[in-house]
Structure 1
Amino acid sequence: MKDYLKTSLVEAVKIEKQYGDFTVHVRIEEISEGFQVLRSIEYAGEEDIVIRHRTPLTQITINADNAVFTGSPVIKQMKPGFQYHPEMPLTFSELKKGEHKVYVHTQFFIEDQKFDIKTKSTIVFK
């Protein structure tokens, strides 16, 4: 792509969504060829628990709220204060100039209870 057509992320975006004893953390930052998304979940409960999730634990979609959780099941023990980073950073090519919606959907199970933590934000390219 020619440099004069290249866009860039105006600023890094930090998203946090709390739900009960859990906080989903997302950071979106520019890299040389587009942008990357870092994801984690923090557990602030008082006792050890075990969560089950499919991959990815936290799905990120751009301009469409259509998360899909199709990977192999994962079981993870969570201790109080633990921050879990189950996946490598997601990378995306730069987007067209303007505002874009980012949809964040974290899904996991504790025993038979399903947890869906959703939020959204906006990123801007210039």
Structure 2
Amino acid sequence: MRKLYISAILIILLILGGFWWISLNSKAELENTVKISESYEDFIIHIRVEKHEGGMQVLRSIEYTGKEEVIIEHRTPLTQVTIDQPNGSFTGSFVSKTLRPGFSYHPQEPIHFDSLDKGEHKIYVHTQFFIEEERVDIETEGRLVFK
């Protein structure tokens, strides 16, 4: 009787171990770090997508290359990033920032995403800000591969 209990427990442990191993090895990973840059007049949007614990993280910044200081106003987030759907929204409160020549502005913490399904995915990037009440929209997209 005791051997039967031990055998049953071992079988259950093997099954649970198998499920655990499958779940660890079935998650897709970002194949390569992806860098996206998009220019508009005196501004360059920089995006970096890299592997992170259990998924990926997206780093965002805007670089100002003009010759004189400029004040921009933007809602949060300054740069909206979405995966597989171009549906960025800017609903936060307004922020005002003075940019000097050569200045890189990193207004947000990295965005963390869980691992995506294996295959190709599109990343949509939309940056929106105002200069003297004139709206500036900078949009681009990139490709992510998960294996």
1:89 matched to 2:110? The reply is yes
Tell me the TM-score normalized by structure 2.
0.84
Measure, in 2, the Cα distance between the counterparts of 1:117 and 1:6: 33
Structure number with higher helix proportion:
2
Pairing 1:16–2:42 present:
no
Q: Distance in 1 between matches of 2:124 and 2:27?
A: 24
Aligned-pair CA distance for 1:4: 2.1
Pairing 1:107–2:128 present: yes
Is 1:123 aligned to residue 144 of structure 2?
Answer: yes
Amino acid paired to 1:79: R
> Which ranges in structure 1 are unaligned for 5 or more consecutive residues?
none
Answer with 1 or 2: which has the greater Rg.
2
2:78 to 32, 38, 57: 57
Residue 87 of structure 2 corresponds to: 66
RMSD: 0.8
Structure 2 unpaired stretches of 5+? 1-19
Alpha-carbon displacement from aligned partner over 1:29-74 (angstroms, at most 9, x marks no partner): 0012100000000000010110000000000000000000011110
How many matched pairs?
A: 126
Amino acid at match of 1:92: F
Structure 2: how far apart are the matches of 1:108 and 1:32?
31
TM-score normalised by length of structure 1: 0.98
Q: Which residue of 2 aligns with 1:79?
A: 100
RCO greater where, 1 or 2, for CA within 8 Å and sep 6 or more?
1
Identity of paired residues, percent? 54
Ranges of 4+ aligned residues in structure 1 off by more than 4 Å: none
